[in-house]
Amino acid sequence: MKKVIIDCDPGHDDALAILLAAKHLDVLGITTVAGNQTLDKVTDNALKVVEFAGLTHIPVAKGMGHPLIRPPRHVPEVHGETGLDGPDLPAPTTPLDPRHAVDFIIETVMSTEDVILVPIGPLTNIATALRREPRIAGRIQEISLMGGSLTYGNSTPAAEFNIYVDPEAAHIVFTSGVPIRMCGLNVTRQVPATEVEIERIRGLGTRTSAIVAESLDFYRDTLKRVFGLRGGSLHDPCAVAALIDLSAVPAQAGPTLIEFEPMHVAVELKGEHTYGMTVCDCRHLRGRGQVSTSDGGVWRGEPPNAEVAVDIDKDRLIDLLIDTLAKYP
Ligand code: RIB
Ligand code: CA
């Protein structure tokens, strides 16, 4: 079973990603980073999720409270004042792992083979770990992240939130040499939790499904109000689903859930209109050898540094999520 660390900023979609991962992957730990809400609030929310889902065996470690350079940026208009508005969840009592999230990531990667990092919030923790202990770059099996976009942004017309909050951290990650799998808005916006999906979840009739449905009711309404979307985009579960071997899930036998293409991704750190954009080179210049230009040069593309999601089977992701939620009490 794949060994993962989920680095997150719960966050309604982060919560679903944790529930999906815990039933299909070996979750070595959950690390938190400031993003959707303050570090304290997202950390409390991570503890609330492991408590209501019966996952308190998974250590939770608290991480970076602000981006490397930029001022913090939170989105209560999307995830609410608590960061997980909707269900009335009790204040958590589960103790945190005593280590800082960055130390947790470094110690786990240095002591365990084939660890996969699954960042689904700003990349501040990951970048800090890479800078503090460069040797982890050669030991991390891959990074499967929700962030960026092949097309449009959400925080700005060009930039997606997780990248936009800490573009300098994202630049460190995308230039680290670690194999990256990027699930961007161009696919994650295709997986909305509308009334239809939420009622399917509520229909499971369990305590966990009731909490999840109530949280998605809130999230659907905020995204409708802010962006005019028809449902709550299930961004973060995509980065987890990308790692799940669907042949092992009998009801899902068939083609892959998400389609990826190798391409070079650069994080814009200067643009007036494009700061925080993931500039994805999908021209595929690399595949056709050296093509001359009129001024005696050649068309050049940077070598791919990421597998970028280009398509997703939305219905199969929803089915996988609901089949997984049915496994919780
Ligand atoms: O842009 C979507 C991303 O920003 C998701 O990870 C969501 O949880 C927020 O962190
Ligand atoms: Ca998130």
Q: How far apart are CA 69 and CA 56, in angstroms?
A: 33
Write down all domains in the chain, each with its CATH number in brackets. Answer: 3-325 (3.90.245.10)
| 74, 79, 235, 264: the active-site residue | 235
Q: Does the Cβ of 154 fall within 6 Å of ligand 1?
A: yes
User: Which residue stretches of the chain have pLDDT < 50?
Assistant: none
Determine the residue of 162, 227, 277 to mutate for testing ligand 1's pocket, defined as the one with the most ligand atoms within 8 A of the Cβ atom: 162
Q: Does the Cβ of 55 fall within 6 Å of ligand 1?
A: no
Determine the residue of 74, 156, 185, 235 to mutate for testing ligand 1's pocket, defined as the one with the most ligand atoms within 8 A of the Cβ atom: 235
DSSP string covering 3-44 = EEEEEE---HHHHHHHHHHHHHSEEEEEEE-SSSS-HHHHHH
The CA-atom distances, in angstroms, between 158 and each of 23, 51, 59, 76, 78 are: 34, 37, 35, 21, 19
| DSSP category for residue 56 | T
Q: Does the Cβ of 121 fall within 6 Å of ligand 1?
A: yes
Phi/psi-derived region of residue 148, left when phi > 0, alpha when psi is between -120 and 50, beta in every other case: left
DSSP string covering 96-116 = PPSS-HHHHHHHHHHHSTTEE
Q: How far apart are CA 64 and CA 56, in angstroms?
A: 22
Tokens of 143: 């990074």
Burial of 286 (C-beta count, 10 Å sphere; 0-12/13-18/19+): middle
Going by DSSP bridges, is the β-strand pair 3-8/115-119 parallel, antiparallel, or unpaired?
parallel
The CA-atom distances, in angstroms, between 20 and each of 49, 179, 240, 324 are: 12, 22, 7, 6
pLDDT score for 288: 57
Are the CB atoms for 264 and 174 separated by under 8 Å?
A: no
Q: Does the Cβ of 11 fall within 6 Å of ligand 1?
A: yes
Residues with CB under 5 A from ligand 2 (ion): 9, 11, 14, 120-121, 236
Q: H-helix or E-strand containing 52?
A: helix 39-52
pLDDT score for 18: 99
> Is residue 146 helix, strand or coil?
strand
Task: Mark whether 235 is an active-site residue.
Answer: yes
Residue appearing with tokens 């936009």: 164
Q: Does the Cβ of 166 fall within 6 Å of ligand 1?
A: no
DSSP string covering 219-257 = HHHHHHHHH--SSEE-HHHHHHHTTS-GGGSGGG-SS-S
Determine the residue of 13, 152, 165 to mutate for testing ligand 1's pocket, defined as the one with the most ligand atoms within 8 A of the Cβ atom: 13
Sheet holding 278-281: strands in order across?
A: 60-62, 26-32, 3-8, 115-119, 142-146, 180-183, 306-312, 258-267, 278-281
| Best CA proximity match to 329, nearest among 52, 58, 24, 71 | 52
The CA-atom distances, in angstroms, between 298 and each of 105, 143, 211, 291 are: 42, 32, 57, 5
Are the CB atoms for 6 and 19 separated by under 8 Å?
A: no
Q: How far apart are CA 328 and CA 169, in angstroms?
A: 35
Give the pLDDT confidence of 267-324 residue by residue, as tens digits: 999 999 999 999 999 887 655 556 788 898 877 788 899 999 999 999 999 999 999 9
Ligand 2 centroid – CA 255 distance (Å): 27
Residues sharing a CB contact under 8 Å with residue 50, sequence separation 6 or more, in sequence order: 18, 30, 56, 58, 60, 94
Ligand 2 centroid – CA 137 distance (Å): 23
Ligand 1 atom index nearest CA of 235 = 5
Q: Does the Cβ of 44 fall within 6 Å of ligand 1?
A: no
Q: Does the Cβ of 14 fall within 6 Å of ligand 1?
A: yes
Ligand 2 centroid – CA 30 distance (Å): 12
Are the CB atoms for 61 and 104 separated by under 8 Å?
A: yes
